[in-house]
Structures are given as C-alpha cells and as structure tokens.
Amino acid sequence: AGGSMERQAATRFRLQQLHALLKMITERETDIATALKQDLNRSQYDTSLLELTGLENEIKLAIDKLSVWAAPRAVERSILTLSDQVYVRPQPLGVVLIIGAWNYPWALTLGPLVGAIAAGNAAVVKPSELSECSSLLLRALLPRYLDKDLYPVVTGGVSETQELLRQRWDHVFYTGSSSVGRLVMEAAAAHLTPVTLELGGKSPCYIHSDCNIRVVARRITWGKFVNCGQTCIAPDYVLCEPSVQNQLIDCIRLTLLEFYGADPKSSPDYGRIINQRHFNRILSLMEGYVPVIGGQSDASQRYIAPTVLRDVPPQSRLMQEEIFGPVLPLVAVSDIDDAIRFINEREKPLALYVFCTDQKGIEKMLEETTSGGVLVNDVLMHYTLSSLPFGGVGHSGMGSYHGKHSFEQLSHMRSCLVRSLAMESVNLSRYPPQDRRRARRARMAMRAPLIDMSRRTFVWAVSATVIAVVLMVTLVVILLIAAGLNCTCWYWRGIYNYFW
C-alpha cells in the first residue's frame, strides 16, 4: 500500500515466487506423478493432462498479466469529480488459508495458491490427508522453492484442520464436500472471514435425441470415468429419453472397450478409489441394482469397474448423494421440459452438461436452469479455460477462481478518490445553509451521467483536442503566410487584424 517503489518491489517478489512455483512443477513432475500413482493409480500421462499442464498455464498467465491485474484501474467520474483521480486499487487481503482436495491434490491446492501469490497474500497450505503421498511430497517440496515463512505447508487430518479453522484468517479457500463446506463456513463466520467454497454436487447431463450418440458416449465416458469418477464436475447422472438410453448403453460399452480394453482392471489408464471408506460407500450406493455395464469390484485393490445403471428411480439414495465414483445412473425423461423440471427440483449443481444440436433447445436449457457453469456438447473442458470463472452457486459453492478471477477473489478492491482543494466554488451547492436554488444545483450535478475517462470518452476527448490543435496551428500558419506576402485582400486582412 506504499509508494510506487514499494509496489514495484512487491510485484517483483510476487513474480519471483510464481517463477519458483513453476520451476518446482517442471523439475519435480516425475516425483509428482509417482505420488499420484501411489494415491490414485493415476497414469503419468493423466498427471500432466489433468493437473500439471493446467497449473502451469495458470502460473504463466499470472506472470504475464500480473502488472496489469495489480495496477490501479480508472473508473467513471461524475461532473463533480471530473478533475479528480478516481480509481480502484487492488490490495492483498492478508493471510489466506487454503484447504486442498484429495482427488486432484496438486491442481486444487496449488491453483488457489497461484491466485494468493499473485494478489500479494501470504498463505497457509493444508493439503488433504487422504492423498497421503502427494501431501507429504508437497510438504517437502514447497519450502525448497517458495518463501517458507510466507507459504508454509501444514499436514495432518481432521483435528489439524479444525485447529486451523479456529484461528482468524483474512480468507479461507476450501475445495471439497458440501458437508465439510458447511463446517468451514461456520468456523469462518465466527471471525467474519470471507470464504471461497468449491463444493461439487450432482452435476446433471442431458442428452437430446437429435445428437450423434456415438460422439456423445465417447465424451461422457471420458469425463465420467477419468480419475475413476472422482472428479467434482464429472457427469453425476444422465437424463435422456428411453430410446436414447438404448443407443447410449451400446455406445458406452464400445467406448469403454476402446478406452480401457476388455479388462479395465489391468488398464494403466484406469484409476482406483482413494481409500476403503469411499470404496465401501460407492458399493453401498449400487446395492439393489443390476448394472447393464460393469459392476465388478475388488476390495484388495479398491477397484470398481466402470458401471452404468439403467432406469434409476429419482427418489433413490443413488440420486440423493454425490456419487464421486465410477457409477453412472441413467434416468428416463420424456423431453427437454421434463429434464428441466428434474434439474430445477434439486440443488443447483456445480456444472450442467447439455448435449443438443438445436439452438432453441440449448437456449431453453440455459434460460430455464441455474448452475455454477454450463458446457454444451462436451464435459469438463470449461475448467481448462482461465478466462472463465470456475465456481459454484448455492449448494455447490460460492466464489470463483482461475486466471484473473483468482486474483480478484483474493484481493480487496479498494475504492480511491483523490480530490484537489482548489475550485471550492463547485462544492458550494452542497454546503449549508441550503435553499431551493442550491438544492436544485446539487441535484443536477449528482444526476449528471458518469463520464468514463478510461475508455471511449477519453479517447474521443483526446482525439478532439488533437484535431482542434492541428486546425488552430494550420490557421495560424495560413495567417502568417498571408501577412508575409503583404496580402491586400480585404477579407484576409480583416481576419489577420482580428487575430493579431
């Protein structure tokens, strides 16, 4: 918050830390991939595809744009403040607590850290204890690359997290389940601490009958079963007409064979459930159903095959809880209106997926539903765009991040108005004693339209000034030439006498 020299030094420090974080990811990619293999049976190729590449892009974007994001931002002025400095200055919030998730333990922990560093905050990083190998590796690596006093790593389980939440923070960033999200928000409320909660939920996927089901099946199969279904924005269930279900089941079966072979258990690209408790939870959700695809499991490896269930009742337990595993229920609906009613009867999801080629149908779904994000004719890919804010609404969370949105989420946008003590006569109408005349002048000034000095109005004003100066100089030159030639024309002599 100091002068320009201090701000420049602060910006250099932030850039230094961001470069160091990028260096850690590139130098330690093999170690990170090994840890994820132990935690989730994640293949080394999926580690880069699902976590590290996106994280690198976030860091590079922050490095490239930091000077622009952190600069004061001119805003519209009124007539009364036309000659004043009016701007918004981003300021660090202070110290941020980041509670990471276990399903993507690097992207979902270090992603918010990128925003915290870019915004100039200190941060305490608490990785999930469930992804134990990744958590221990992060604790070992981060102090070697970043300032260990400003960005410490705290490991541990529930008791350690509870102890952290009892302390006062300037912002708490949590990614995980809705049940824990409530506890985080409750703890933060005791200190009036703002929170960012990315909570997931049951993300619906609607398929219209006009689609190429073969393509639809490939995209849904990838998004649902990647990371063994343990993705907060994975399609949780599919809504479609009964005739579409038949085609979809056949196409998913072919796609699974294409992706993972005849035995997904032996595929290097198919993951495992994070721990025994989640393994048992997912199996309990499947009880009472006869899968049309998959259903096999192996407790010794925490393996659950890619599974599809048909005609799942809307009131079943499977449709009440977030599945967060490789089980895809198919729910029959009669048409798009029935699908919209089904979605709106439930909590607002983190993501909504719509497969449709009819523009009217797409607009109808966008207009009549609400979700944190929406993606048409694909799944998951909106997460990869740093230009889009990623976050939930209602039950699926609050606040958003990625790219510039992370910077703004973890900054205080301070309003600044710097006035002059000159031209006091302009302010007289607001001072007492008041009368009808003064009040009318004050109202007129306050009702005046805002003037955007940072955009078109400013450009127009500068352009008009330049043109006026050029015309004036041209006129003066003409007059001087006329005088130098001893012009006898009464018209030009009259003009010359008028100006000189």
Which active-site residues does the annotation give? 198, 232
Cβ pair 43, 268 in contact under 8 A: yes
Question: DSSP secondary structure string, 248-284?
Answer: HHHHHHHHHHHHH-S-GGG-TT----SSHHHHHHHHH
Residue in this structure with the two tokens 């490991």, named with its chain if needed: 155
Q: Please state, in angstroms and rounded to a whole number, the distance separating the CA atoms of residues 330 and 490.
A: 94
Cα diameter, the chain: 110
Q: Please state, in angstroms and rounded to a whole number, the distance separating the CA atoms of residues 361 and 344.
A: 16
Output the six-digit token pair for 219.
Answer: 């995209």
Q: How many CA atoms lie within 13 A of 264 on its CB side?
A: 29
| Partners of 126 in beta bridges | 99
Nearest Cα neighbor of 288 from 246, 333, 318 is 318
Nearest Cα neighbor of 237 from 331, 332, 356 is 331
Q: Please state, in angstroms and rounded to a whole number, the distance separating the CA atoms of residues 157 and 171.
A: 21
Taking CA 255 as the corner, what is the angle to CA 250 and CA 260, rounded to the nearest 5 degrees? 130
Output the six-digit token pair for 126.
Answer: 């608490």
Residue in this structure with the two tokens 């949590």, named with its chain if needed: 174
| Other Cβ atoms closer than 10 A to 370 | 14
Question: Residue ranges of the alpha helices (H) in 345-403?
Answer: 359-368
Cβ pair 39, 50 in contact under 8 A: no
Give the CA distances from residue 342 to residues 139, 234, 310, 398, in Å, rounded to whole numbers and listed in that order: 44, 18, 17, 23
